[in-house]
Structure formats: structure tokens, C-alpha cells
A and B are shown apart, each in its own frame.
Chain A
Amino acid sequence: MKGERNMASNARAKEKPTFNALWQRFGTFGILILLLAILAIARPGHFFSTSTLTQILAQSSVNILIALGEFFAILIAGIDLSVGSVVALTGMVTAQMMVAGVHPLLAVLLGVLLGGVLGLINGALVNGTGLHPFIITLGTQAILRGVTLMISNSSAVFGFPASFTRTISVNVFGLIPLVAIIALLAAVVLSFLTRQTKLGRNIYALGGNREAAWYAGINVKLHTLIVFMISGLCAGLAGVVLLGRVGSAEPAAATGFETYAIAAAIIGGTSFFGGKGKIFGVVIGGFIIGVINFGMNLLSLPSTLQQVVMGALIIGSVALDRFVANKK
């Protein structure tokens, strides 16, 4: 009886995709288009200038980069709350290296690697203590923020080579921001990792059923370590990118960005229970956050209200997704 029903539902899916199936696939994309449409109608003059789209792309890129890493942490049914602090610390260290005369390229590379090392520390702490990543990264979030404040004496760092900020802020063909290309490249690489590699398959397995993964021979600790390293690397890359766009290293930079990253991953369809989600969804989720942020500036809403609207939209979009998905 059960088999028949499954066969029937499968056959149906092949012939005529149900609304449900369509929503699963393109729902988040629809929300993005909807938001863009609202902006286009509200501020047609501004919206249809190329600089607006370029700005949205550039602004979303940092979100997307962080969210890409966060995605992996959530994929194994964990979380990484330290990403905002990792962004700040890697940006600060990169800035200080450049001010000290290190070649910008080397400084950038070391900055990103530092992000990876911080991620490894998170992973090692999770493995070593057996505590939930929520607790570990809540702790490292505070610790890394503190370290950033300490090494900067709580003040911003400027005065690094203009070539660096100029390069980061370059728009390819005057249209596409370099940072968006960086984010896209990262997304392509990570999408390949999740879809085409055994490592990616193992991570999904680990997120889907940790116990079963252990019995199936997956090295749970090694994969946890790798996942947090990826999260750290992405945050490190985001830190360098943010540094170049802002032009100074602020000790309080990226405060609360973990919320946006988590929101982007969840809006993009990543399951909080682990094992389910796609990179494409995360990219769209990151865009949505970027568009919301940018749109509220465009509509010149007061910044105090922006926080409220952002929160409401996060709840609203995920609730809408669940509501539609659960309606049979």
C-alpha cells in the first residue's frame, strides 16, 4: 500500500511537477525576485541604475561568503556563532600586517589562512570537549572579539596601501564587483565540494545521522574539523573583503553578522536538523539579506527600524517557506 503511494507520487513528480516541488526548488528564488520587484516599484528611478545593482552585489558578497561557511556548520546539525568575530579578527590582523609593511597579497593570504586556523580551533574544541558547537562558538565569539579589541587597542586601523582597497573595490567591466566574483568563485568551489566529492557526501551523511555515519566508517571528528575549518576560511575571506571595501579595520566590525549568515543559510533551505541544504540556496539566501539591507537604505528607513524589519523578514520568509512546504 505504501509502495503504491510512493510510486504514484514519483510518477506524478515526473509528469507534472507539483506546486510543492516547484516551491521547494524555486521558492527562495521567488522571494528574492519579489523583494527586488518591491524595490523596483518603490524607487524605480534609483533601482534601474546599474550602480544600484552593482552595489547590491557588492554588499551581498560579504554576507554570502560568511553564509557559505555557516552553511557547513549547520549542515552537520551544528552552528558557528563565531563567524562575525572571525571576520573582525582576520580583517584586523590583515590590516596590521599591511601597515607593518607586509606585501598586501601575502597579508591577504595569511589573513584568510588565519580564518581557517580559527575554524580549526573551533572544531578541535568541539571534538575535544564533546560540547555542542553552539556553546563552543558562543565562547569563541566573545574570545575572538576580545582578542581583536586587545590587539587594536580598541581603535580602528588605517593607512594600508591604497592599491589594496582599490583592487578589492574594482568593478569588472565597470559593472560586476570583484568581490561578487570572489563570492561566486567560492560558491562554485564549495558547490563542487558538496555535490561531486566524497568529502561532501560524508558531510551530508554526518549531518543526516551522526550515529549511522560512525558505523558506516566516517571519521566523525575529522569531518567536524574540516567543516569548522571551511567555516573559518570563508569568514577569513569575508574579513579581507570587508576590509578592502570599508578601507579601515574596525574592532567592532561585523558584529552580529553570524545572525545574517544563519538567516541566509536557513532562508536558503538549509535544515537546522542537519543533512539537508544546497549551496545555491545559500547564495540566494545571502542575496535576500543583502537586498533587504540595501533596500531599507534605499527607502531611507531609519537604521533603528531596519533591525526590526530585518528580524521580521527573516522570521516571515522562513515561516512562509515552512507553511507552503507543509501544506499538502
Chain B
Amino acid sequence: MQAETLVQMKHVRKEFPGVTALSDMSFDIRAGEVHVLLGENGAGKSTLMKILSGVYTPTSGSIVVDGKAYKNLTPHDADRLGIRVIYQELSVIPTLSIRENLFVDRLPIKKHGPFHTVDHDEMQRRAEGLLEKVGLRRDARTLVEDLSISEKQQVEIAKALAVDSRVIVMDEPTASLTHEEVRHLFDVIRALKAQGKGIVFISHKLGEIMEIGDCVTVLKDGANVGTHAVSDVTADDLVTMMVGRQIRKNYQDENTPDSFEQEEVLFEVQGLTRRDGKAKNVSFRLHKGEILGFAGLVGAGRSELMDAVFGAAPKQSGRIFLHGKEIRTKSPYRAIRHSLAMVTENRRETGFFQNFDIKENISLISFLKTARGGGTLGLIDRRFERECAERQRKALRIKCASIDQLVAELSGGNQQKVILGRWLAAQSEILIFDEPTKGIDVGSKAEIYALMRGLADSGKGVLVVSSELPELLAVCDTIAVYREGEIVRTFSHRDATEEKIMLAATADGAE
């Protein structure tokens, strides 16, 4: 078990302005070992990876390779020392062939006097050798864009082998793989182990970790909360370590009922199905006063489900009821006419308008809703615009110099409030929040939670999609766990725990 130590991270700390991403992180990568890194979103995994690959320089602490301590490892050093990170968003170049990708920065050269040309035969020969090592049965001349995701991943691994990497870090490599492909990846990883490579495997699928890992380090709030041999721990232990002692503040009412079954149904979805399988015959009910949350892993299809409910993406089938009356949401416009609202996940991409100031951002949907001709006919009422923006600014306590300020200049929390204000100004009844506090500081988070609770208490419907379990536990009355396009379990907030939700969300079909 005590194999040669390839890379050691010693007391690494990384601070960003206002945030400490890693507080005191130490861990070892040993030859022939798969070291699993486990932690919730935001625990510091990606910062750690970027420090290992030299992208970030640690604030303090060092990385020891071959007995030499590096205080500021550069990407060039990492490359030279044989440390290779395979990110989730793969870095292969789709328009080049497999072999060109493998040797993109070191093409084999043939010399003809003063002229140098690419030695295609040599490249092909070496590429075939590498592909065999990773078990990819493809002609090395195939374009990478014609490969499946798992095949592209194999190309990435082959690329790491091409430079004779000793340490290979894989960031959630199984996130978008099928069951079969995961099997295959594991075979490759086992082969790499046998060759004495050190593997860092980042994942939060517990079943996989138990299967492929040799030892596991749990990250929480930027620190190592424990490194154990996988054989010494159970999946339950890991979950407890990962979500551990979370201080949580609750926004549920004191007298929230255990079950909302008796309450009036505000909103109901029946048998919603998407063609791409991101929603398979999904049904749920939202009751008066209830906040319903959707938990699940990234890629489970929660955002896609909400897109379909809101009409932003097509539904194959399914019915939607508001106050017991069926409504059709063919497009966001139709949904908005029925007083639905959607606070999208990415503010910058799908939320606010950078070219608009605060008041224009807030008034847009109110104007659209009152316009005739599919939202086109009507005049801008500037006095109404100012009044409605001012009202939202006060009600939501948006911190800004004036409502004439550009939204892009505000902090994330205030931008989110502007978007919320837009929907409230339009008198929305059912509000869908997708990752409502992504990239928002703790203080604003609490404000947004309180606003959501206030909305539910005032009789509006609130649906929340979030990848942060503490967030769902803090605000939701009911939590539905979504996995591969289906609601697999529903918890009342009284008996929901992070452990239970995690288990339901991650069970690899084993139970």
C-alpha cells in the first residue's frame, strides 16, 4: 500500500478577494493508486485542480514533486513534471483528427534538407500504440468531432500518456457517460494503475468511488476533513463527512404542516415528457403556501424539466394546471400570459439585458404582458416604468445609485433582485427559481431566501431547482429528488436530510 509518493500537496491555501477557496489542504498522490476527491459543489475541488495544474498560484503552502517543493508551480512546470488534468469540458480540438490531437504541440517531423514536414507515418504508428493502451478501437485518422464523449475522453487520456504523464487528474469523468462507458473507463483506469500512474478521481457518485477508489479524501469548505482507505469506510460515512456539520438557518414557518395534501393545489404538472428523456412522465403538485424544491445531480434534467414547464423548450406530452384550470405553455410568452415566471440559472446569459438599465430591465415583462398583438403593440409609458421600477427597488431593497444605472454594474445579488423584480412587477403567480443564488454572497442569499418565503406566504407558488442541498433544506417545505428525468423520491422538510437526498440522487441504480 505504501507506494512511491509522486506528488504531495502541503498546507495549500488559496484566497480570492473576499473568499477563501482552500483553507488548509494537504494530500498525497501515490503511484499505482486511485485517489478520490469528494466534496459538494463549492468545496474547493476545482481550485485544487487548478493549483495542481499550475493555473492558480497558492496563497501559501507548496506542492512537492520528486522531493522538490514548488511554491508557485507554473502550467509549464506541471507539464514538465508529468501532471495532467482532464477537465470536464474536454480540451480536444474537434476539427482535428485523433492523431493530430495527440501530438498537436509536438508533431513528429521528417526532414528533407532545409524543409521539414510532418511525418504522418510516424504519427500514425505512435498514435496507434497510444490508442491501444487506452483501449480505443478507432482509426487514428478519425476526426475527433465524430467521436462520442467517452471516446473523446479516451483521446484525452491517450494525450496524457503521449507526454508520459505520471499523475492524471480526472474531473468528474463519468458525469456524461453511460453505464457501459463507465465500465470501460474503469478498465482503462485499472490499466493505468498497473503502469504505476497516480490517478486523482473527482466524483460524487458514491457507488463508483467505492468501486474504483483506493483512498478517498473528503473536502469541505476548502479543507481536508479526512483521508481514508476506501476499504475502511462506507458510503454512508462519506456522505456524513461530506455534508457534515452544516450550520443551517431555516426559512420554513413554525407551523408548516408535515404534508400539504390538505391545502389547495395552486399548480400541477401531469405526465410531462420531453423527447430527449430529461423528463419522463413527470407529475407534481404545488400547494398554497408551499415551496417545492428539486434536488438532484447536475445533468439529472431539472433545468430541462422547468424549461419545458415554462414553454422555453418543447414538451412531447404532459398537462399543466393553474388553480385547477388547464393552461397551455407553448412558449414563454404563453406561460407569462398565464402568470408564470422563470428566474433562470445563468443571469448573464439568459437573465438580464446588459444594454438596458435597471428600470428597463424591470418593466420589460409588464410592458410585454399588457401589449396586444403577441406582445408587440403598445406604447412605452415612461411614468409607469419609473414607478414600477422604484416600487421594486424599494420592496426588494436593490442597492443601486439609481434606477437609471446599468444592471451589469450591480453585484450578483442585486442583479438577481432586478430579475425577480421584473417578474413581481408583472404580477407573476407561479415563480420558478433555477439555482437562485448561484454566484451570490451569503448575505444576499439570506435575503433571497426570505423573499422566496414571503412570496409563498402571500399565496404565490414557488418552485426551486438547486444543486446546493443546504439551500433546499433551508427554504423548501417539500423536496423532490430528480434523477435521470424522473422524480425518484419526495421528502417533507421535516424528514429530509442531506444524507437521504444524496443517497436518493446518487444511487447508481444499485438498489
Chain A residues within CB distance 8 Å of chain B: 2-3, 6-7, 10-11, 195-202, 204-205, 207-209, 211-219, 222-223, 226, 271, 275-276
Contact = CB atoms under 8 A, between A and B. Distances in A.
B19 interface: no
B17 to A, nearest CB: 10
B401 A198 contact: no
Instruction: Kindly name the residue among A7, A204, A205 whose own CB sees the greatest number of chain B CB atoms within 10 A.
Output: A205
A211 B349 contact: yes
A25 B255 CA distance: 58
A76 to B, nearest CB: 12
B378 interface: yes
Contacts of A223: 376
Contacts, number: 112
Given A271-B355, A276-B355, 5 more contacts: A198-B377, A205-B364, A215-B312, A215-B332, A218-B368
A294 to B, nearest CB: 34
Interface in B329-364: 331-333, 335-337, 342, 344, 349-356, 360, 364
B178 interface: no
Question: By DSSP majority rule, is chain A's interface helix, strand, loop, or mixed?
Answer: helix
B355 A204 contact: yes
B371 interface: yes
A218 B369 CA distance: 10
A29 B355 CA distance: 23
Interface residues of B, number: 42
B399 interface: yes
Nearest to A273: B355
A212 B355 contact: no
B350 A217 contact: no
B145 interface: no
A209 to B, nearest CB: 5
B377 A215 contact: no
A212 B402 contact: no
A195 B380 contact: yes
B324 interface: no
Interface of B: 310, 312, 331-333, 335-337, 342, 344, 349-356, 360, 364-365, 367-369, 371, 374-380, 399-402, 404-405, 409-411, 422
A2 B404 CA distance: 16
A197 B381 CA distance: 9
Given A10-B401, A196-B379, A219 B353 contact: no
Instruction: Kindly name the residue among A209, A217, A223 whose own CB sees the greatest number of chain B CB atoms within 10 A.
Output: A217
Contacts of B312: 214-215
Contact of B379 (A198, A208, A209): A198
A10 B351 CA distance: 24
Contact of B409 (A6, A202, A217): A6
B51 to A, nearest CB: 27
Q: Please give me the 8 A-B residue pairs with the lowest Cβ-Cβ distance, nearest first.
A: A208-B355, A275-B355, A217-B336, A217-B333, A7-B401, A208-B353, A198-B378, A211-B350
A86 B391 CA distance: 48
Nearest to A200: B380
Contacts of A10: 401-402, 404-405
A198 B350 contact: no
A222 B375 CA distance: 10
B405 A216 contact: no
Contacts of B400: 3, 6
Contacts of B369: 217
A209 B380 contact: no
A216 B364 contact: yes
B330 to A, nearest CB: 11
A2 B364 CA distance: 26
B356 A216 contact: no
B376 A202 contact: yes
B368 A217 contact: yes
Contacts of A215: 310, 312, 332, 342, 344, 350-351
B375 A198 contact: yes
A198 B371 contact: yes
A215 B349 CA distance: 11
6 contacts: A2-B409, A3-B410, A212-B349, A212-B352, A215-B332, A226-B376
B460 to A, nearest CB: 18
Contacts of A214: 312, 332, 350
B495 to A, nearest CB: 35
Contacts of A218: 333, 368, 375
Nearest to B342: A215
B375 A219 contact: yes
A187 to B, nearest CB: 19
Contacts of A208: 353-356
Nearest to B405: A6
Instruction: Kindly name the residue among B310, B351, B375 whose own CB sees the greatest number of chain A CB atoms within 10 A.
Output: B375
B368 A204 contact: no
